[in-house]
Copies of this chain bind each other. A is one copy, B any other.
Amino acid sequence: MRESDFVSGFARGLKVIEAFGETRQKLTIAEAAKLTELDRATVRRCLLTLADLGYADYDGKFFVLTPKVLRLGHAYLSATPLPLMIQPYLDQLSEKSGQSASASVLDGTEVVYIARASQKRVMSINLSPGSRLPAYCASMGRVLLAALPETEARSILDRSELKANTPLTKTDPDVLMNELRRVRAEGCAVIDQELELGLCSIAVPIANDRGRVVAAINIGAPAAHVPAAEMVTRYLPLLKETQGALRLVLR
């Protein structure tokens, strides 16, 4: 791609949208300028353009995203075969296990949920498709990182904000790299309350018919119901079964 094929004004605008992140419902011009490191006047024009097009509302101080903004990315979930094909398998997996089951892919340093089936909600956060979790402390993140070349996985860990969500969260990069080696060897990852106290999950990678890892699936359960030590014996057979079935149908 040549430099003259790059539209920098468009790129700046996308950077402004990304400034909202996952936690900011609204932004001021000054906040968005700080987050994007773009000139304040440039950011102001981008935000005003979003408001004019209906992607945001402006009350004279704050820009608030509107439902229209969901048009900008939902095609990935609604039109891409992978989420659509995995969903029925997760429905069955959730039914058989009696717990929630999800699928995700890696995007940068995070896993993005692309499909989910749940019975009762037990997590404090709602992980519908499009939601993100840091890969280093999520079971699906662990298996997706384990499927990468070690230098690439290490690079992602180095770019991650390795914060301790609970006293059980592993945050040392070397410890995490050893853990990824173990995950690769065993073919699954178990997270024992590293993301959130009270929650355990077990995940396996999903490969397509050419052996390339394209997603991960997991089963999540409350630690009170299923201690981490039992996650493997109770759920790994079901996950392996689903893994094998999906391998035959994904290309």
Contacts and interface: CB of A to CB of B under 8 A. Distances in A.
Interface of A: 1, 5-7, 9-14, 17-18, 20-25, 44-46, 48-49, 51-53, 55, 64-81, 83-84, 87, 91, 95, 105-108, 112, 114-121, 126, 128-132
Contacts of A80: 25, 64-65
Nearest to A84: B126
A130 B112 CA distance: 14
Contacts of A95: 120
A117 B121 contact: yes
A66 B6 contact: no
Most chain B beta-carbon neighbours within 10 Å: one of A69, A76, A81:
A76
A143 to B, nearest CB: 16
A85 to B, nearest CB: 11
Copies in the complex: 2
Given A14-B13, A84-B126, A91-B121, A70 B73 contact: yes
B44 A5 contact: yes
Given A18-B71, A121-B91, A78 B131 contact: yes
B87 A76 contact: no
A130 B79 CA distance: 13
Contact of A70 (B5, B51, B112): B112
